[in-house]
Amino acid sequence: MTSEKVPTLEARIERWPIEGNFTISRGAKTEAVVVVAEVTHGHLTGRGECVPYPRYGETPEATLEAILGMTDAIGGGLDRLALQSAMRPSAARNALDCALLDLEAKQGNRRIWDRLGRAAPVPCVTAYTISLGTPEAMAAAAAKAAHRKLLKVKLGGDGDGLRIAAVRKAAPDSELIVDANEAWSEANLAQNLAACAQAGVTLVEQPLPAGQDGPLANIRRPIAVCADESVHDRASLSGLRERYDAVNIKLDKTGGLTEALAMADAATAQGFGIMVGCMVATSLSMAPAMLLTPMARFIDLDGPLLLKRDRDRGLRYDGSLVYPPEAALWG
């Protein structure tokens, strides 16, 4: 018999169908594959969700194994702060970190932002993603979403000038940000930035591959450039200021909300703008990231909007607004 005094850990892989498909420069997918961790202590259970990302060598199976590998440590009383050194930054650590934070909030009977001494999140504008495709297909998608205040446009290299011009024409009143997902090159960098500036784009995410982004320090950037794949946690901020104006903070990269909040503080102190990003996932992945929104200029937490269905008691979306999570969901 398991004592109620001993925390227990469970985890599982879940698959959530995407509405249509989600396409970026690296490929397309039709479902979101997530891993959920649950830490139970007595009658209370904390939950966390992560998205293993192949770009960083992660798979759902290996992530599940990494989480379950912490079973004895969790049972022995490993807390959230000790977790930071017990696991490397990863999707697996994110799921566990968020589960422990959720449990901490329930045990204290207070919302997690109050326990952490952070500003309470409020309803905020989130981006809505336009997948990569032909200029015609992207224009059609943008026209359907033209009522939204902020659109995030996935680009992919050659022909991006035509794509962004088509999207702008279809959504003349929306603020546009662009995500190239490392697909540009030094040869087309200036041309593509100019095309985005011409279309009134506010921000470009990760135009060049991580590790090959040095040219960004040597050109005049007509619009703000945001690091995504080039930045993961606080340790990766060093040396980026000459190349980037902002950083995209994602909990699956930082290895959880604990590091993400510390990273946001450090990035702000170093003069970076803050973007809060996400993978395609359910509201359980988005909810912890809402604690970062008071510090962010750009918020991209539209993952559940891209799914055929979301979790029960998921985040509330009202047009372009996303609302803070209810305690029944997380935190």
46-82 confidence digits (pLDDT tens): 999 999 999 899 999 999 999 999 999 999 999 999 9
The CATH number assigned to the domain holding 98 equals 3.30.390.10
- 107/147 same-domain check: no
Domain range for residue 148? 124-322
The Cα 33–Cα 325 span in angstroms is 22
- 94/158 same-domain check: no
- Answer yes or no: is 78 within a domain: yes
The Cα 224–Cα 228 span in angstroms is 13
Structure tokens at 1: 């018999």
- 64/206 same-domain check: no
User: What are the backbone dihedrals phi and psi of residue 4, each rounded to the nearest 5 degrees, phi first?
Assistant: -65, -15
- 45/191 same-domain check: no
Residue 26 has a pLDDT of 61
Catalytic residue numbers read 154, 250
The Cα 188–Cα 161 span in angstroms is 10
β pairing state of 175-179 and 201-205:
parallel
How far lies 133's CA from each of 27, 72, 300, 330, in Å?
A: 11, 47, 20, 35
Tell me which of 111, 140, 165 is where a domain ends: 111
**Smallest Cα–Cα separation from 58: which of 48, 46, 50, 70?**
50
Total tally of structural domains belonging to the chain:
2
- 37/146 same-domain check: no
- Answer yes or no: is 2 within a domain: no
- 178/233 same-domain check: yes
Low-confidence ranges of the chain (pLDDT < 70): 1-4, 21, 23-28
Tell me which of 79, 111, 143 is where a domain ends: 111
How far lies 85's CA from each of 80, 88, 120, 192, 300, in Å?
A: 10, 7, 28, 41, 28
- Answer yes or no: is 25 within a domain: yes
- Answer yes or no: is 306 within a domain: yes
- Answer yes or no: is 35 within a domain: yes
- Answer yes or no: is 1 within a domain: no
Residue 279 has a pLDDT of 93
- 235/280 same-domain check: yes
pTM: 0.94
- Answer yes or no: is 116 within a domain: no
The string of DSSP codes covering 124-163 is EE--EEE----HHHHHHHHHHTTTSSEEEEE--STTHHHH
Residue 157 has a pLDDT of 76
- 175/45 same-domain check: no
- Answer yes or no: is 59 within a domain: yes
Residue 1 has a pLDDT of 37
Residue 24 has a pLDDT of 67
Question: Taking the chain, what is the end-to-end CA distance rounded to the nearest angstrom?
Answer: 29
Residue 25 has a pLDDT of 57
The CATH number assigned to the domain holding 260 equals 3.20.20.120
- 104/144 same-domain check: no
- 174/267 same-domain check: yes
- 150/258 same-domain check: yes
- 105/187 same-domain check: no
